[in-house]
Amino acid sequence: MPEWTFIAEAAALLSSLAFGVRNIFIRKALPYTTSLVSSLAVTAFTVLFFIPWTWMQGPGPPITWLGLLWLILAGVSAPGLALLFYFASVNRIGVARSTPLASVQSFVSLIVAILFLGERPDFPVYIGTFLVVGGIAIVTGEREEFRWTAREVALPLLAATFWGLSSIFRKLGMNAIPWPTFGALIMSAAGLTTHLCAYRIFAGRAKRSTQARAAPLLLAAGACLAAGFYLNLFAFMRGTVATIGPLTSTSPIMTLLLAAIFLRRLEKVTWRLMICTAVIVVGCALITAN
C-alpha cells in the first residue's frame, strides 16, 4: 500500500537520524567515561526496551534452534563486537574520522554474500564497490592535520566488518523466525552479554573512571539505539530492500552533519571528510539497492 511505503521510508530516515544522534551523545559522554561502559550502558537500555515490547505482542511465530543461533550470532557481531570497536574508535580518533570508515558495512555484507552465499551482484554493485574503496583511500590518505596509524584504520573497519556480518546472520535468523521484536531482543541480549564479558576482561585497564555526568548522556544514547533499532526493523518489514537500504545508509551523513553542529568544540568536520563520507554512502546505497 502506498501509505505503508511512505511510512516505511520515513521510518528508515528516522532510524538513520536516531543512530546519528546516538553517536553524538556517545562522543559527548566519552570524556567522562570509557568506551566499555558506554557500550554496556546503551545495550542494557535496548534490552530493557525490547523485553516489555516483545511480551506485549504475545505469542509469535514458532522459535527454532537454528533461527535462535543465527540471531545470537547476529547480536554478538552487532551490537556486540561492532559497538565495542566503534566506540573505541570514536574515543581514539573522534566521531568525524571514525564514521566514514565504519560506514562500509554494506561492502562487507556483499563480500560475505559472494563468498559464502553464492550471490552474484549486478553491474551497479561494482560501481558502488569502487566508490566505497575510493572513499576509504581518500579518507585514510589525509596527511596534513592527522596521520593515520594501523590501529586507527583497523578499529572502524573492524566495526564495519561486524556490522556487515551481523546483517547476514540477521537475515538468516529472521527468515527462520519472522518476529522482528523478538529478534531485536535476542540480538540485544547477545550484544549485552558480549559487552559484559569484555567489561570483565578489560575493565581493569581503563585509564579513567566513569563520572556521574556521563549517565544522562548514556541514557539518551541508549534510547536512540533502541528507537533506531526498532524503526530499522519496521522499515525493512514494511518496505522493500531496494528503497529502504539506501535510506538507512544515510546514517553517516546524519552523524557528520550533527557533529558539525553540536561537536564544534570537540571535533573538526572538514569538507574532505564530508565529501568522502557522501561518496562512501552513495557506494553503499548502490550495493544495498542491487
pLDDT on residue 145:
62
**Average pLDDT, integer, range 96-122:** 78
Q: What is the pLDDT of residues 145-191, one digit of tens each?
A: 667 788 888 999 999 999 888 888 888 888 888 888 898 999 999 99
Q: What is the pLDDT of residues 226-249, one digit of tens each?
A: 998 888 878 877 777 667 777 777
Q: How far apart are CA 39 and CA 214, in angstroms?
A: 13
Q: How far apart are CA 5 and CA 234, in angstroms?
A: 11
**Average pLDDT, integer, range 42-59:** 91
**Which residues constitute the domain of residue 102?**
2-289
Q: How far apart are CA 219 and CA 217, in angstroms?
A: 5
pLDDT at residue 289 greater than cutoff 70 = no
pLDDT on residue 142:
61
pLDDT at residue 39 greater than cutoff 90 = yes
Alpha carbon separation from 276 to 12, 22, 133, 258, 270 (Å, rounded): 22, 21, 10, 16, 10
| Average predicted confidence (pLDDT) for the chain | 85
> pLDDT class for 50, splitting at 50, 70, 90?
very high
**Number of independent structural domains in the chain:** 1
pLDDT on residue 272:
78
Query: Grid coordinates standing for 122?
Result: 549486478
pLDDT on residue 63:
92
Higher pLDDT, 8 or 246: 8
Q: Which of 7, 272, 14 is nearest to 140 (CA)?
A: 272
pLDDT on residue 156:
92
Q: Lowest mean pLDDT: which of 39-43, 162-166, 268-272?
A: 268-272
- 247, 75 Cβ separation under 8 angstroms: no
pLDDT on residue 3:
60
pLDDT on residue 290:
62
> pLDDT class for 274, splitting at 50, 70, 90?
confident
**Average pLDDT, integer, range 248-274:** 85
Higher pLDDT, 60 or 143: 60
Q: How far apart are CA 140 and CA 277, in angstroms?
A: 12
pLDDT at residue 40 greater than cutoff 80 = yes
Q: What is the pLDDT of residues 204-219, one digit of tens each?
A: 766 667 889 999 999 9
**C-beta neighbour count of 130 within 10 angstroms:** 13
